[in-house]
Amino acid sequence: MNKPDPIHSEDIREQLEDYFYQALEVELLLRLFPDDEDTICQIVDLLVDTCATKRRMLRIAGDDKPAEVVRSRLKKLNADHIRFVLNSLAENATPVRNMKQYLLVSLYNAPTTMNLHYQNLTNHDFAHGSRKAG
């Protein structure tokens, strides 16, 4: 009796896919990062899978979080966050055992870590540039 309605589930997935394609400006990302097309598509798939889940709790970085909190955070992502995650993936030289979980954590944390990351780079460049000038 409580079986999920496959037609309704597909509607939700399709709506989420449309939402993320627009919110993340996927067409623009694909033009800017043509070599990362597979990764960008995998990111969208992961976001859709995560937001469409019926589970009440989701594991993020070893912590169980309410699915609504995770959905809310993921729906705040934009193209800048995806560019940040793509750059972070490209810079990572450490082997990743669970790429799906690593990517989900990266996406979940992007809104809170992106600005700090760029501020840190700016501070480093400014300090490094200051030493050269002096």
DSSP 55-116: -SEEEETTEEEEHHHHHHHHTT--HHHHHHHHHHHHH--S--S-HHHHHHHHHHHHHHHHHH
Please report whether residue 65 resides in a domain.
yes
Please report whether residue 13 resides in a domain.
yes
Please report whether residue 2 resides in a domain.
no
Please report whether residue 1 resides in a domain.
no
Domain that holds residue 42: 7-129
Q: Which percentage of the chain shows pLDDT scores above 70? A: 78
Please report whether residue 36 resides in a domain.
yes
pLDDT digits (tens, 9 = 90+) for 111-129: 988 876 556 555 656 666 6
Predicted pLDDT at 133: 44
Please report whether residue 70 resides in a domain.
yes
Please report whether residue 12 resides in a domain.
yes
Distances (CA, A) of 43 to 37, 75, 133: 10, 13, 42
The number of beta carbons lying within 10 Å of the beta carbon of residue 95 is 6
Q: Which of the four pLDDT bands, split at 50, 70 and 90, describes residue 132? A: very low
Q: Which two tokens stand for residue 46?
A: 């992961």
* pTM greater than 0.85: no
Q: What is the domain count for the chain?
A: 1
Please report whether residue 15 resides in a domain.
yes
